[in-house]
């Protein structure tokens, strides 16, 4: 049976997921944040950057923002994972000389490091339980990620994906500013100085998803953040551009494996 729980942490830039995925399969998607997945039991398989991965207990899966991937159980009993969801700006604070043009990257999607795995797993459990002093809770995320970043992190220049005269980053900014609006294909094409046909073709070849699927995912990722801020499901439904709550709830559960009302 699939069971998924989302938790907040003392730091708004970090949230936590604890899940047992037995039959639930993630379709090809991306995230706005870094996801660090600790496989604690069973095996998961996923495709990323044209390569198939199979991971099991003790493995750390590092999934950067905007990285297209899928995910499914690799065995009948499924897999258990503890996941840190970390905003990019928070993680970039570990750079020796942080500045806007740099971002933190990791050399491999899958890391095998028993010491760091145990350190992160303990931190995940402690942050979920909340049985620490406030100062300890505030400091724990930094203490937990410092060894990981020190050993495997590196600064790199962000790679801009271009669609005509527009970068994907700027296009996302436009969509975020208009996330509740009925955006038209012609609008997006004009922003990029392309015809609608050219825009659709270039978008799919550059991003790996259709514009509609990509924008829908963007809306759902934003919805998840709003729900974690204790916004009501009804308010979030319309704030991210869904026309009714039933449609929103169905899309949300198909995407994340839990209903909007279960997010906390």
3-state secondary structure at position 149: helix
Q: Kindly report the number of other CB atoms within 10 A of residue 35's CB atom.
A: 18
Distance CA 125, CA 2 (A): 20
Continuous H helices in the chain: 88-92, 114-129, 134-152, 168-177, 185-191, 196-207, 211-228, 233-239, 245-256
Identify the structural domains of the chain with CATH numbers, from first to last: 3-156 (2.60.120.10), 162-259 (1.10.10.60)
| Residue 115: both structure tokens together | 């010491």
The whole-model pTM stands at 0.92
The interaxial angle of helices 114-129 and 134-152, nearest 10 deg, is: 160
Query: Can you give the pLDDT at residue 101?
Result: 53
pLDDT in tens, the chain (264 residues): 889 999 888 888 999 999 999 999 999 999 999 999 999 999 999 999 889 999 999 999 999 999 999 999 999 999 999 999 999 989 888 876 554 456 788 989 999 999 999 999 999 999 988 778 888 888 999 999 999 999 999 887 777 888 989 899 999 999 999 999 999 999 999 999 999 999 999 999 999 999 999 999 999 999 999 998 888 999 999 999 998 999 999 999 999 999 999 987
Position 16 scores a pLDDT of 95
Q: Which three-class secondary structure state does DSSP give residue 31?
A: coil
Q: Would you say the C-alpha torsion 257, 64, 45, 151 has a positive or negative sign?
A: negative
Residue 120 in 3-state DSSP?
helix
In b/e form, how buried is each residue of 73-104, taking b as 16+ CB within 10 angstroms? bbeeebbbbbbbbbbbebbbebeeeeeeebbb
Tell me the three state secondary structure of residue 122: helix
């Amino acid at each position: 049976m699939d069971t998924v729980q989302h938790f907040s942490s003392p730091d708004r830039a970090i949230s936590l997921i604890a899940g047992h995925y037995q039959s639930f399969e993630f379709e090809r998607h991306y995230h706005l944040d870094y996801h660090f997945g600790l496989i604690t039991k069973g095996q998961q398989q996923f495709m990323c950057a044209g390569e198939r991965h199979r991971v099991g207990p003790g493995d750390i899966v590092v999934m950067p923002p905007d990285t297209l991937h899928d995910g499914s159980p690799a065995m009948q009993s499924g897999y258990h994972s503890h996941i840190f969801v970390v905003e990019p700006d928070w993680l970039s604070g570990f750079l020796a000389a942080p500045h806007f043009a740099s971002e933190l990257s990791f050399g491999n999607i899958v890391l095998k490091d028993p010491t760091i795995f145990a350190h992160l797993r303990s931190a995940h459990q402690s942050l979920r339980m909340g049985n620490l002093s406030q100062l300890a809770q505030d400091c724990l995320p930094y203490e937990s990620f410092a060894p990981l970043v020190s050993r495997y992190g590196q600064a790199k220049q962000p790679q801009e994906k271009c669609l005509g005269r527009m970068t994907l980053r700027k296009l996302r900014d436009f969509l975020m500013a208009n996330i509740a609006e009925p955006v038209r294909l012609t609008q997006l094409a004009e922003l990029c100085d392309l015809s609608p046909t050219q825009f659709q073709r270039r978008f799919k070849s550059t991003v790996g998803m259709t514009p509609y699927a990509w924008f829908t995912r963007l809306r759902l990722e934003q919805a998840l953040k709003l729900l974690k801020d204790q916004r009501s499901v009804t308010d979030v439904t319309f704030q991210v551009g869904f026309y009714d709550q039933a449609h929103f709830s169905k899309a949300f559960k198909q995407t994340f494996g839990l209903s909007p009302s279960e997010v906390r």
